[in-house]
Amino acid sequence: MKLSKLIAVFITINVCSLSALADQKHSELAHKITDLGNGLYMETIPAKYGTFISSEKAPLPTEEWVRIPAVYETMTKTITVNEAYTSIDIKSAKFNSDHSLKALARAELIVIPAVTQDVTQRVIKTHAKWQKRIIPSLYHPPTIRKQINPAHYIIRNKENEIVQEFSDIRALADFLNTRE
On whether the pTM is more than 0.85, the answer is: no
pLDDT tens string, the chain, 180 residues long: the values are 344 443 333 333 333 334 333 433 333 345 788 888 888 888 888 888 888 877 666 667 788 899 999 999 999 999 998 998 888 888 888 888 898 888 888 888 899 999 999 999 999 999 999 999 988 776 666 778 888 888 889 888 888 888 889 888 888 888 888 876
Q: According to the model, what pLDDT value does residue 21 have?
A: 39
Task: Calculate the CA 151 to chain-centre distance.
Answer: 33
Rg (CA), the chain: 52
pLDDT of residue 149: 86
CA distance 109 to 87: 6
As beta bridge partners, residue 129 has 68
The predicted structure's pLDDT at residue 173: 86
Provide the Cα torsion 26, 30, 34, 40; round to 10°.
Answer: -120
CB 97 within 8 A of CB 83: no
Whole-number pLDDT of residue 140? 66
Which pLDDT score, from 0 to 100, does residue 25 have? 38
| pLDDT (0 to 100) of residue 8 | 36
Q: Look at residue 15 in the predicted model and tell me its pLDDT.
A: 36
